[in-house]
Amino acid sequence: MTTALRRLRNYIDGEFRDAADGRTTEVVNPATGEPYATAPLSGPADVDAAMAAAEAAFPAWRDLIPADRQKVLLKIADRFEERAEELIAAESENCGKPIALVRSEEIPPMVDQIRFFAGAARMLEGRSAGEYMDGFTSIIRREPVGVCAQVAPWNYPMMMAVWKFAPALAAGNTVVIKPSDTTPASTVLIADIIGGVLDELGHSRGVFNVICGDRDTGRLMVEHKVPAMASITGSVRAGMQVAESASKDLKRVHLELGGKAPVVVFEDTDIAKAVEDIATAGYFNAGQDCTAATRVLVQESIHDEFVAALAKAASETKTGAVDDEGVLYGPLNNANQLAQVKGFIERLPAHAKIEAGGEQIGEKGYFFAPTVVSGLKQDDEIVQHEVFGPVITVQSFRDEAQALEWANGVEYALASSVWTKDHARAMRMSKGLDFGCVWINTHIPLVAEMPHGGFKKSGYGKDLSAYGFDDYTRIKHVMTSLDG
């Protein structure tokens, strides 16, 4: 007996619609490896319709006073809380994530982030108005940029959608957002929530639109003439393609791309505490996090003790079904990602040693064991490139100078951490580490008030914080003569 697949649809100008040409793609639950829904495979007509809706809704949304946009965002946050169980179920099916962790680790931060940007809507900052030339007064206007084309990733589809739409809407922009083709369910549900709030408060539902599709759909969005800004969270390759496409008509671009976070552990560290925190930060969400603590550099005097403790922690880390108790992470997101992680392990050099894990587990789904690999060198593939899986690598360093050289010796520059009881060393390392975030004696906590974003091939622009809000605004100088 064949179970009918659920039908997901685009959300354009307040209506749920199939793709104009009727094309669909199957959506697979990574915990089972089986399809559970179909989603539109949107083409040019769908992108045109979504952009037209966002463009038509923009003037009225732009001209709202900030307090009115704040009311909308606060109401959206309330609805997220009220419909939390629906969101949790959708995201768990989307990604195979443990239900308990989505409930505790994703819903509260998302609600908080929406409320933060609701407040930011009323904190438009600029230089003080004044006379900077005799006889003239200058003022600064901070304005929305316009329609924003946004592409969200599959590792945190629900939370990354919030990181994109919340600052954009708060600043007065309208939005067309595309979830990953493997994880559209929670974003379609978000559209239902936001559309309901906009309708309830008397605003055009064209302010927020969702179109499902693949890379070609995303390309059509970025190349479209309507958006003034393109925002993507994704791979370095995807970011480069977006930047190239956007350059043709000088769109603004906001890129949050890959990471290869160094975790620098000095010999004065509390090993047991560091191992516990690093294992959690490395394996959480199956290591599918651009900031994951998966590249550990340990001072040589404690290397062996640290590796043994980390391997033990890996063996005690549990992965499994969404409703299993004590599970830290679920499956990898899709078959391609599973193949990528397995490929890194299969290509390990002879000098590498698998201390724990290293294999796919389970008879169905895309589960991979918590893995520790030691004996690695700085130029090894697995050290230089993002695995995006539950694989922690360990290198041994001699001194502070070598640790800093190796930590910075990758093309990514998103996040990092340093573990030491020496305050002066921590300050030197935080200065020297060439990453957008440096944690000290912790790894991975984020707060709405602080920026998240990297350098180098990790992209540019900030998520979260007032800096992330500013990215969705433009600056206008207005000067008036005092003579007239």
Which residues participate in catalysis according to the annotation? Answer: 256, 290
Paired strand residues for 10: 17
Nearest alpha carbon to residue 153 among 175, 113, 181: 181
- Please give the torsion angle defined by the CA atoms of residues 392, 396, 400 and 404, in that order, rounded to the nearest 10 degrees: -50
Angstrom distance (rounded) from CA 236 to CA 197: 35
Paired strand residues for 372: 356, 392
Nearest alpha carbon to residue 415 among 386, 439, 380: 439
What backbone torsions phi and psi does residue 302 show, to the nearest 5 degrees?
-120, 10
Angstrom distance (rounded) from CA 71 to CA 91: 26
Question: What is the residue whose two structure tokens read 């949107």?
Answer: 42
Nearest alpha carbon to residue 179 among 85, 284, 105, 90: 90
Angstrom distance (rounded) from CA 175 to CA 181: 18
Q: SS3 of 5, please?
A: coil
What region, left, alpha or beta, does residue 357 occupy, with left being phi > 0 and alpha being psi -120 to 50 degrees? Answer: left
Exposed, middle or buried, 265 (CB in 10 Å: 0-12/13-18/19+)? buried
Which string of DSSP letters, residue by residue, matches 115-169?
A: HHHHHHTT----PPPEEEETTEEEEEEEEE--EEEEE--SSSHHHHHHHHHHHHH
CB-based contact 113:162 (threshold 8 Å): yes
- Please give the torsion angle defined by the CA atoms of residues 192, 193, 195 and 198, in that order, rounded to the nearest 10 degrees: 170
130-133/34-40 β-pairing: unpaired
Angstrom distance (rounded) from CA 84 to CA 75: 14
Paired strand residues for 413: 455
CB-based contact 190:210 (threshold 8 Å): yes
252-256/459-460 β-pairing: antiparallel
Residue 195 CB neighbours (<10 A)? 21
